[in-house]
Amino acid sequence: MATIAPSEGSEYGYWYANRETLKADLSFKYAAYRAGVGNFGMNHLLITKDFGPKVRMAAILTDAPLDTEEKTDLPFINDACSECMKCIEVCPVDALTSEGVIHREKCAEYMFNVLGGLRCGLCIKVCPLNNF
């Protein structure tokens, strides 16, 4: 996996995700999933055994040769999520669906136009897998 590192040439002087899609060039969530750290909820957040969806990730990007081992024995969607649906019910803009689709544009519009750039976090708050 390769991506361009942040630079001072971006709009705000640092790297950020696309405001319309809320996607970045490098996904820490998918890297963590492939490393076996956790799997995904219906809210498209990484869910870990120890902390549920209440995790923040950081990474060190390097071109150093490293031994790698994928540990993707976890199902992509967490088993508990298929029956719960609390995150879908609480979403104020119906950005989440029971089919596992997230309408990022609805989430982004609410986040930037209503919350002033803050994430609402309701889908994290109601998740019964929170262990923190």
Please state the pTM of the whole predicted model.
Answer: 0.71
- The mean pLDDT value for 48-65 works out to 86
* Confidence bin at 58 (pLDDT 50/70/90): confident
* Confidence bin at 61 (pLDDT 50/70/90): confident
Is residue 21 within 8 Å of residue 108, measured between CB atoms? yes
pLDDT in tens, 18-41: 666 666 677 888 888 988 899 999
For residue 51, what are the CA distances in angstroms to 46, 69, 108, 119, 132? 10, 23, 25, 19, 5
- Domain limits of the chain? 28-125
* Confidence bin at 9 (pLDDT 50/70/90): very low
